[in-house]
């Protein structure tokens, strides 16, 4: 059984029989290392572990830890892996989770790395689609908002492209269009997609509309953020043109991109989406905390290339081994951006 099907089946069983899993992680400890602010993801993981009977420790303010004293990221991970059975990490630096996995002897769970990926949000999204629609196939999916820095978008595209007969509408301002490496992935798979700047023109064709906020924290230019932040706003009037069984999803937090008058529409799934995230994370934690400890592999460079991405973890932690993506020697293994060969 593919890993996704196995996780989803476990998630369904946990939802159906929560008491049967109330001590499933008794004696297990989860470390939550949040180098970047989080509400839903952080508390969702904590609630998931506690509902499994496990314990949680960690931080959500790195200035109160030894990293503020100059401790390296690698040393922090090494120490945490000696205390915990699994580590959840969020970082503003892209590729941080992969970097952490090089120094940890326990499983690393990526809770978001900069504008790169957010895999457990994608598990949440897939769970919502499967739960609400019964299957993940033959869907037209609109991804709307910040597609450039939207790590939830990037993860969801990578995941949905593995399912049959999925087509995408990529809806964004040109300045926030999806990164080239994501387009290359879609083209390699001969995936159907159309890029557009107009939400209303494609709304009637969508089975799923995945809205995202324009992320202030990813912008170096405040004026650019102010200009782009409310380009797309979904409201009840616009929904009148949509299918009756449309799913409106959002990873949250939302700002103005979904009006409050959408909340009581039966097509609005984003609050249930957040709740389902806790249950799929319970399934993931159950699986990962029962894995054996694996000694870290020796660290060796496999490229001379230097990542061009200033947000890559290799810029913050220059001692990290230089790694190219397997099968793509011109791409950084940490953040998927291009490598520059000197």
Whether the per-residue pLDDT at 64 is higher than 90: the answer is: no
Q: What are the pLDDT digits (tens) for 22-51?
A: 999 999 999 999 998 888 899 999 999 999
Crossing angle between the packed helical segments 270-289 and 40-51, to the nearest 10 degrees: 50
Cα separation of 160 and 49, whole Å? 27
Task: Check residue 53 and give its pLDDT.
Answer: 98
Task: Give Cβ neighbours of residue 310 (< 8 Å, ≥ 6 apart).
Answer: none
142 or 36: whose pLDDT is higher?
142
Weakest-pLDDT range from 7-16, 65-74, 300-309: 65-74
Average pLDDT over residues 293-303: 81
CB 301 within 8 A of CB 335: no
Q: Are residues 143 and 199 in the same domain?
A: yes
Q: Enter the pTM of the model.
A: 0.92
Whether the per-residue pLDDT at 333 is higher than 90: the answer is: yes
Q: What are the pLDDT digits (tens) for 215-225?
A: 666 656 667 66
Domain count, the chain: 3
245 lies in which domain range? 119-266
Q: Are residues 94 and 110 in the same domain?
A: yes
CATH of the domain at 71: 3.40.50.1370
Q: Is residue 63 part of a domain?
A: yes
Q: Is residue 96 part of a domain?
A: yes
């Amino acid at each position: 059984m593919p890993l996704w099907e196995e996780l989803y089946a476990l998630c369904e069983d946990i939802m159906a029989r929560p008491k049967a899993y109330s001590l499933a992680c008794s004696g297990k400890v989860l470390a939550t290392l949040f180098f970047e602010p989080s509400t839903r993801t952080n508390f969702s993981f904590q609630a998931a572990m506690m509902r499994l009977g496990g314990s949680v420790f960690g931080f959500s303010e790195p200035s109160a830890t030894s990293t503020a004293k100059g401790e390296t990221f690698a040393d922090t991970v090494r120490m945490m892996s000696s205390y915990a059975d699994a580590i959840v990490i969020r970082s503003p630096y892209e590729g941080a989770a992969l970097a952490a996995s090089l120094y940890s002897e326990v499983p690393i769970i990526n809770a978001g790395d900069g504008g790169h990926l957010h895999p457990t949000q994608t598990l949440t999204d897939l769970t919502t689609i499967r739960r609400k629609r019964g299957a993940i196939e033959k869907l037209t999916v609109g991804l709307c908002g910040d597609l450039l820095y939207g790590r939830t978008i990037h993860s969801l595209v990578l995941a949905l492209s593995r399912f049959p007969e999925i087509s995408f509408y990529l809806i964004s301002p040109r300045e926030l269009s999806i990164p080239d490496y994501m387009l290359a992935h879609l083209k390699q798979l001969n995936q159907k997609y159309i890029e557009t700047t107009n939400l209303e023109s494609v709304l009637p064709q969508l089975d799923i509309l995945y809205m995202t906020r324009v992320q202030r924290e990813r912008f170096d230019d405040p004026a650019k953020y102010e200009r782009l932040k409310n380009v797309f706003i979904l409201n009840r009037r616009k929904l009148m043109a949509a299918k009756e069984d449309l799913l409106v999803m959002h990873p949250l937090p939302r700002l103005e991109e979904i009006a409050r008058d959408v909340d009581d529409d039966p097509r609005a799934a984003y609050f249930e989406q957040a709740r389902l995230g806790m249950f799929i994370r319970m399934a993931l934690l159950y699986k990962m905390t029962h894995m054996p400890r694996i000694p870290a592999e020796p660290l060796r460079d496999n490229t001379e290339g230097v990542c061009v991405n200033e947000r890559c973890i290799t810029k913050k932690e220059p001692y990290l081994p230089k790694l190219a993506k397997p099968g793509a020697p011109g791409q950084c293994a940490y953040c998927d951006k291009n490598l520059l060969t000197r």
